[in-house]
Chain A
Amino acid sequence: MTNSTSTLRIEHLARVEGHGGITITMKGDQVLHVWLDIFEGSRLFETLVRGRRFDEASQIVSRICSICSTSHALAAILAIERAMHVEVSALTNALRELMHLGENIESHALHLFLLAAPDYLDYPSAIALAADKPSLVKLGLRLKNLGNVLQEVIGGRAIHPVNAIPGGFARLPTIQQMLDLRQRLEQGREDCQAAVAMLSSLPPADFCHASTVFAALRDSSIVVKEGAVEEQLEPGCYRTLTNEEKGPFSNAKRSLYRDRPFMVGALARLNINPGSLTAGAQAAVEQLGLSLASCNPMDNNKAQAVELVILIDRALSIVRELIEEGWQAQAPVAVRAHPGNGVAVLEAPRGLLIHNYTFDQAGYITEADVVTPTAMNAASMEHHFRVAVERSDSKEPAVLTRKVEMLARAYDPCLSCSVHLIQANERGRTG
C-alpha cells in the first residue's frame, strides 16, 4: 500500500464541460476529500422571475428542467395560489395530479431503461444496449411515452405545459382523450409488470450501504427519518432542511439537516411511507427483493420501479373515476393580485422540490427561492461516494470510476438539465 496522494477525477457527469464532475482525493486507501461539482442553474433562475407578474412565473420556471418541467410549473402555481388565497376545484386537483403522475412515469422510465440499465448490463450507453436488446429499450420508450402523453393531454404540450395556470386549467381534456388515456394506461400496467421483471433480473448492486438520513413528503409535511427516528417539518420551515452551506471542498452549496447529509427521491419516499404501498407495489417490492427501509442508495433504482407501479395504478384510477363521473366545463378560478408569500413543496421525480415566492401589492415577485432535489442530494451523494470508495476492495481507478458513476446515476441527478449544447466540431457544411 502506498501513502502517496492520488486523485480520481470523473469529468463526464455533466453535459457542459467545466460545470460538473466528481473528484475524489485519496492518501493510500484513505479517502481525504470527495466533491461533486454541480452546475446549480436553478439557483440563478430565481433572478429571472423577480420583477415578473405572478401569472408569468409558472411558464418561466417550467424551463428550469426539461424532464421536471411539470413539477416546476406546478410548484410555482401552488405557491402562487397559497400566497393569493386561491382554492381550486376538485377537478383541477385531479388533473394536476394526473399531469404530475405523467411526469414521474416519464422520468422514471427514462432513467431506469436508458440511463441505469446500461450500467447494470455493462453497456456503455442506451444506444449500445438498444443494438443488443431492442425490446428492452422499446419497453422503456413505451413507458416514457405514456408519461409524455399524460402530460400532453392535460398540460397541452409535449414539454413545458401551458394549460395549467394559477386557478385551474386554460383548457380541459375531452372525453375521447380520457378514453384513449385509459387504454394506454391499461397497456402501461402490463408494461410495468415487464419492467419490474426486467429490473428484478439485473445483477445486485450493494457496495455503498451506509447509515442514511432520508427526507420526503408525508401528506403535506416533510418527514426526516433516520432509522426509527422521525422528525416532521411544516413546509414553511423548509430552510431548516435546505440551509445550503457551502462545502469546504466544493464550489456548490450543500444542504445538511442537523449537520448530516440527507437523501431525497424514490427510495426516501418508500422508506418514509411504507404504509402507502398498494398491493401491486408490495408485490413489486417482493419481486425486486427490496427490503424497506433500505440504506443502500443503489436501491433508488428499485424504488423507482416500485413507484412506476404505484404511479400507473393511481393515474388509471383517476382517469377511470373522471370517465365515470364526467366533468363540466369550468373556467379557472379568478386570481387577484395580493401581497404575501407562498411556499409549495412537492415530490418531483428526484425528490423534494421547493418553490417560495413573495409578491408585492400588484402581484409582482419581489423574492423567489427554488430548491431542487439534486441540490439537496449533493452532500448525500458525496457521503455515499466516500463509502463506495472506502469499501471497494480494489482501488484501481477503472473499478472506482465504474462504482462511483453507477452510484451517481442511481441518484438520478439533475446536473445537466438546464443547458443542452452539443459539441459540433465534426464534419458538416458551414453555411
Chain B
Amino acid sequence: MKQRKPVLILGLGNPLMGDDGVGCRVAEMLASDPRLPAHADVHDAGSDLLRWADEIAGSDKVILIDGALSEQPAGALTIYEDELPGVAACSSHVHHLSPLHAIALLRSTQPEIARVHFTLLTVAVSSAEVGMPLSPLIQNQLPEICDQVLLRL
C-alpha cells in the first residue's frame, strides 16, 4: 500500500467551469512549487471529495481549496480552521454530496477521519461559466492563495 504523507492538500472544482476550477489551478501550481514540503501531497481533486476518503483517512491534516459563491468581493479568501462551515440539515443535492456534506459524512462513519484536522480555504467567485480559463481577477490571486496554503503547512 502506498505510504501516505501526513498533510494532504486537495484542490476542488471543475476546471471546465471557469472560476469554479480555482482549487484545481491552485493544486497544479503547488505541485510544481519548490516550497512544497516533502511531508505534503497535493492533488487536483475534482469535485467528488468522497473519492479521496482513503487518502484523507491516512492523513493528519487536510487542506481543501475551493471556490465559493459568496457575498464577499470576488477573490476574497476565507479560511476555516478546525470548525468548517455548518451544513444544512437537509441535503439539497441529488447527484453527489458537496465537500462539506462529504466531510460530515466521513467524520460520522470513519473514526480515523474524525481525528483529521481540516482547513478549508474558500475563494469568493461571482460566477462560474463554462470555459477553461479563470477570470483575470482570480488568476491574479493564485500566488496569494498558494502562499496562504503554504503558510498553513
Residues of chain A at the chain B interface (Cβ within 8 Å): 12-17, 41, 44-45, 47-48, 60, 63-64, 66-67, 69, 110, 114-115, 118, 124-128, 130-131, 134, 137-138, 141, 144-145, 148, 158-160, 408-409, 412-431
Chain B nearest CB from A351 CB (Å) reads 14
CA distance A48 to B131 in the complex (A): 7
CA distance A412 to B96 in the complex (A): 10
Greatest chain A CB density within 10 A among B50, B98, B125, B128 is at: B50
CA distance A138 to B67 in the complex (A): 29
Residues of chain B at the chain A interface (Cβ within 8 Å): 12-17, 20, 45-48, 50-55, 66-72, 76-81, 85-87, 89-101, 104-105, 108-110, 120-122, 124-125, 128, 130-132, 148
Chain A nearest CB from B64 CB (Å) reads 10
Are A110 and B96 in contact, CB atoms less than 8 angstroms apart? yes
12 new A-B contacts at CB < 8 Å, known A67-B95, A115-B94, A431-B121: A60-B16, A66-B96, A67-B48, A115-B91, A141-B105, A145-B53, A417-B95, A418-B14, A420-B14, A420-B47, A422-B122, A429-B81
Are B130 and A414 in contact, CB atoms less than 8 angstroms apart? no
Q: In the complex, which residue of chain A has the Cβ closest to the Cβ of B12? A: A420
Are B85 and A428 in contact, CB atoms less than 8 angstroms apart? yes
Q: In the complex, which residue of chain B has the Cβ closest to the Cβ of A427? A: B85
Are B108 and A134 in contact, CB atoms less than 8 angstroms apart? yes
Residues of B within 8 Å of A412, CB to CB, are: 94-95
Q: In the complex, which residue of chain B has the Cβ closest to the Cβ of A17? A: B69
Are B89 and A421 in contact, CB atoms less than 8 angstroms apart? no
Residues of A within 8 Å of B45, CB to CB, are: 159
Residues of B within 8 Å of A138, CB to CB, are: 109-110
Chain A nearest CB from B102 CB (Å) reads 9
> Could you show 5 A-B contacts with beta carbons less than 8 Å apart?
A13-B94, A409-B94, A412-B94, A416-B93, A418-B130
Residues of B within 8 Å of A13, CB to CB, are: 92, 94
Residues of A within 8 Å of B109, CB to CB, are: 130, 134, 137-138, 141
Q: In the complex, which residue of chain A has the Cβ closest to the Cβ of B13? A: A420
Q: Choose from A60, A126, A431 the contact partner of B97 (Cβ within 8 Å).
A: A126
Residues of B within 8 Å of A45, CB to CB, are: 16, 130
Q: Choose from B98, B130, B132, B148 the contact partner of A15 (Cβ within 8 Å).
A: B98
Are A424 and B48 in contact, CB atoms less than 8 angstroms apart? no
Q: Choose from A148, A424, A428, A430 the contact partner of B69 (Cβ within 8 Å).
A: A424
Are B94 and A416 in contact, CB atoms less than 8 angstroms apart? yes
Q: In the complex, which residue of chain B has the Cβ closest to the Cβ of A115? A: B94
Q: In the complex, which residue of chain A has the Cβ closest to the Cβ of B106? A: A141
Greatest chain B CB density within 10 A among A67, A418, A424, A425 is at: A424
Are A69 and B76 in contact, CB atoms less than 8 angstroms apart? no
Chain B nearest CB from A241 CB (Å) reads 23
